[in-house]
Amino acid sequence: MATPVTAPNGKPFSTKSKVVAGILQILVGGVGAGRWYTGHYGMAVAQLLTCGGLGVWALIDGILFLVKDDRTDSEGLVLKS
């Protein structure tokens, strides 16, 4: 079966990958790497200043990137799988 051209919200999928964002966030989430990748710069700066919420915020955020299908980039486009 072919991959749909549009996300469930009717918009096209992002060029960014949720797997890449999740792995970046888990491995180097203390500097907000997954958020920098997806273009959420305000959230990335907050993670940078708090060392990823002492690692807890970064780990949870990374897991959510990997398991949720509705995570978006800074333009509101759903991340591709």
Q: What is the pLDDT of residue 10?
A: 77
Place of tokens 């710069």: 41
Spatial separation of the C-alpha atoms in residues 11 and 61, rounded to whole Å: 23
What confidence tier does 81 reach under pLDDT thresholds 50, 70, 90? confident
> Does 1 reside within a domain?
no
Domain with 61, as residue range(s), is 18-67
Spatial separation of the C-alpha atoms in residues 63 and 1, rounded to whole Å: 27
What's the number of domains the chain is made of? 1
Find the angle CA(13)-CA(16)-CA(18) to the nearest 5 degrees: 90
> Does 41 reside within a domain?
yes
* pLDDT at residue 12 tops 90: no
> Does 47 reside within a domain?
yes
What confidence tier does 9 reach under pLDDT thresholds 50, 70, 90? confident
- Token pair of 28 as six digits: 């180097």
> Does 2 reside within a domain?
no
- Token pair of 31 as six digits: 């500097």
> Does 22 reside within a domain?
yes
